[in-house]
């Protein structure tokens, strides 16, 4: 599945001629594919929200009789035609899909980074995948990351890809790799980290342009920000995408209504507290992960948030129209 999505992403890139815009198109298509699940989930949430006052009454009335409370709650669900899992199950189903999508994105980034490593080993300037203000889409959008692949990025590439990359040279193994006496097994298991460190050091020694490109960020601190503004051109980006990921995450949370549950006592108090925590946890988490991984990953995250906002607004409009029609017909529920 991961390979199929990667091939699909590559196919989009072949049409639009840009990995950045391919990510944008890919994200929109994924969100469109998830629309039926999101529609069912939001419809289920609305039904559950409508019976919250009745549930609160039952919780108060049968506070000392849990068995009776469960029975009456089940009867209420049946009477109102509410499936308590209807709002959760579609969301649970989307998670495996999103994980596969993220895996496909990382596969694309890792393969492109390895292609750039090959060029550096041949003492060439790597071909950068630029996008708007970003010099290399496969490196983080950050003031603290060079545009050329650095050690941290190389360490994120899994062993099997390193081995496939090495074996792919065949008889055309670069001289630098021959000099290091590396084999495919050098990139396996416990050997991987030491091998990558050796390789990166050799790349810096053998390619002066690479050494200069990655040395700029050594010793960089916030205290040196003003004094080193002249070297910002050496950095891959300006942290715009990570910041946008956090901001759009906050806005999306408010639009979707998650994290803003009203307290009605008991378990709902705990749910409201959890929702409030999630309101701030996800923006901080998205800021961290988009700051740490490739700009392509951050671009996907930001576009996913924006697409989700638009999707939520449209779904809410559809459900509002359904409720109005149901009310006029005397049904009073969202089907």
180-198 pLDDT per residue, tens: 888 888 888 888 999 999 9
Contact 129, 19 (CB under 8 A): yes
Residue 291 domain-assigned?
A: yes
Residue 106 domain-assigned?
A: yes
Residue 309 domain-assigned?
A: yes
Residue 327 domain-assigned?
A: no
Residue 333 domain-assigned?
A: no
Residue whose tokens read 């419809």: 43
Distance CA 252, CA 302 (A): 11
How would you label 164-185 residue by residue, b for 16+ Cβ within 10 Å and e otherwise? ebbeeeeeeebebbeeeebeee
The pTM of the whole model exceeds 0.85: no
Return all residues near 43 (Cβ < 8 A) that are at least 6 apart: 86, 319, 334
Q: Residue 49 sits in which domain range?
A: 2-218+225-321
Give the model's pLDDT for residue 234.
63
The neighbouring-strand residues paired with 235 are 146
Residue 326 domain-assigned?
A: no
Residue 198 is inside which H or E element, if any? helix 192-206
Distance CA 301, CA 30 (A): 12
Return all residues near 100 (Cβ < 8 A) that are at least 6 apart: 1, 2, 5
Give the model's pLDDT for residue 299.
92
Give the model's pLDDT for residue 240.
92
Residue 328 domain-assigned?
A: no
- Total of domains in the chain: 1
Mean pLDDT by 10 residues, the chain (335 residues): 79 90 88 82 77 80 77 78 64 70 83 91 87 90 84 89 88 82 86 90 87 64 46 71 91 69 45 61 84 87 88 85 77 51
Give the model's pLDDT for residue 265.
42
Residue 242 domain-assigned?
A: yes
Return all residues near 112 (Cβ < 8 A) that are at least 6 apart: 19, 129, 137, 138
199-212 pLDDT per residue, tens: 998 888 888 888 87
Give the model's pLDDT for residue 116.
92
Give the model's pLDDT for residue 264.
41
Assigned token pair, 332: 């009073």
Strand, helix or coil for residue 131: strand
């Amino acid at each position: 599945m991961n390979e199929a999505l990667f091939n699909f992403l590559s196919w989009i890139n072949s049409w639009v001629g840009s990995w950045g815009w391919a990510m944008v198109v890919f994200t929109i298509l994924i969100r469109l594919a998830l629309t039926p699940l999101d529609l069912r989930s939001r419809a289920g949430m609305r039904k559950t929200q409508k019976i919250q006052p009745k549930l609160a009454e039952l919780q108060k009335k049968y506070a000392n009789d849990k068995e009776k409370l469960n029975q009456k709650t089940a009867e209420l669900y049946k009477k109102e035609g509410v499936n308590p899992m209807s709002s959760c199950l579609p969301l649970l189903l989307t998670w495996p899909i999103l994980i596969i999508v993220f895996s496909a994105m990382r596969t694309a980034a890792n393969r492109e980074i390895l292609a750039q490593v090959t060029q550096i080993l041949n003492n060439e300037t790597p071909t950068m995948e630029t996008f708007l203000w970003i010099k290399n889409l496969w490196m983080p959008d950050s003031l603290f990351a060079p545009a050329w692949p650095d050690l941290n990025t190389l360490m994120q590439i899994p062993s099997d890809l390193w081995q496939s990359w090495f074996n792919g040279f065949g008889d055309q193994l670069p001289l630098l790799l021959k000099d290091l006496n590396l084999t495919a097994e050098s990139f396996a298991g416990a050997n991987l980290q030491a091998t990558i460190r050796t390789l990166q050091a050799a790349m810096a020694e053998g390619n002066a342009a690479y050494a200069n490109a990655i040395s700029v960020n050594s010793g960089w601190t916030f205290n040196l920000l003003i004094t080193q503004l002249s070297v910002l051109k050496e950095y891959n980006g300006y942290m715009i995408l990570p910041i946008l990921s956090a901001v759009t995450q906050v806005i999306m949370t408010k639009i979707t209504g998650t994290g803003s549950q009203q307290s009605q006592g008991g378990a709902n108090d705990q749910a409201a507290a959890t929702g409030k925590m999630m309101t701030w946890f996800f923006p901080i988490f998205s800021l961290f992960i988009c700051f740490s991984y490739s700009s392509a990953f951050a671009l996907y995250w930001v576009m996913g948030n924006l697409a989700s906002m638009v999707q939520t607004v449209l779904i809410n409009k559809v459900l509002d129209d359904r409720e109005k029609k149901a009310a006029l017909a005397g049904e009073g529920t969202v089907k």
